[in-house]
Structure 1
Amino acid sequence: MIPTGPRPVAPFSHAVESDGWVILTGQMPTDPAAPDAPLPEGIEAQTERVLANLELVLAGLGLDRSHILQCRAYLTRFERDYAAFNETYRSFFPADRLPARTTVGVTALAVGALVEIDCIARRP
């Protein structure tokens, strides 16, 4: 668990590491400083918060976004939000360093979120 990381919404670790592989649990768009506050409005704001939360977890492990190899994203309103999600997501990574990614439409996510993202990173 990362002390500065978001409060978990279920029983899990923020990340698990084995042999340099780091598996980051899917992050929600909750505010670590105010975990009971309402979620940000809209897919762009929620995506930004999720990516910021992933960055907090990475930083707590001495890593950063350059160590991310793969992401999985889950969207509750796939057809409506996919394009806007992609624009926000794209801004998080350098154009020449996009990780592999899968995006899945789902019927619901914890805390009523529109988006959740998990990642696999590798320690150099």
Structure 2
Amino acid sequence: MMAFHMIAGGPRPVAPFSHAVEAEGFVFVTGQMPDTPEAPGVLPEGIEAQTRAVMANLRTVLNGLELDLEHVVMARIYLTRFKQDYAAMNAVWSSFFPAGRLPARTCVGVTGLAYDALIEIDLVASRPG
């Protein structure tokens, strides 16, 4: 059985999708952008601020499903300026997880993202049970 979730007060979708889809104990969270529900399409400056904003949006979706970052098992990170932003993004990313408890991850460089964002991140979480 699958459940399709839209989180009240969550980030405004930039395309037709659910914030998350749940199937067989896993929660697949759609890639989030670095804008806020209060200011869709308005992005903070720089990779550090954009990474924090994306993480805040991901937490909003997870929290709306009674989950948090400790439930994340896999992440995919997309960067438009890979060489320039990779190290700084990693420093911010690492601050959200305890040492020794980092999710599996893929990080790739891409040619463009919605709103001309520098970063987008999607997640897979595991529901405890």
TM-score by length of 2: 0.93
Aligned pairs for 1:1-124 (under 5 A) are 1-36=6-41, 38-124=42-128
Q: Partner amino acid for 1:117?
A: I
Pairwise CA RMSD of aligned residues?
0.7
Residue 35 of structure 1 deviates from its aligned partner by 1.6
Q: Partner amino acid for 2:17?
A: F
Equivalent pair of 1:4/1:60 in contact (CA under 8 Å) = no
Aligned residues: 123
Residue 74 of structure 1 deviates from its aligned partner by 0.2
Q: SS of 2:21's equivalent?
A: strand
Q: Which string of whole-angstrom CA distances, capped at 9 and with x for unpartnered residues, describes residues 87-119 of structure 1?
A: 000001111210000000000001110000000
For residue 3 of structure 2, what is the aligned residue in structure 1?
Answer: none
Residue 34 of structure 1 deviates from its aligned partner by 2.0
Q: Percent identity?
A: 66
Q: Partner amino acid for 2:61?
A: V
CA distance in 2, matches of 1:18, 1:83: 34
TM-score by length of 1: 0.97
CA distance in 1, matches of 2:67, 2:75: 15
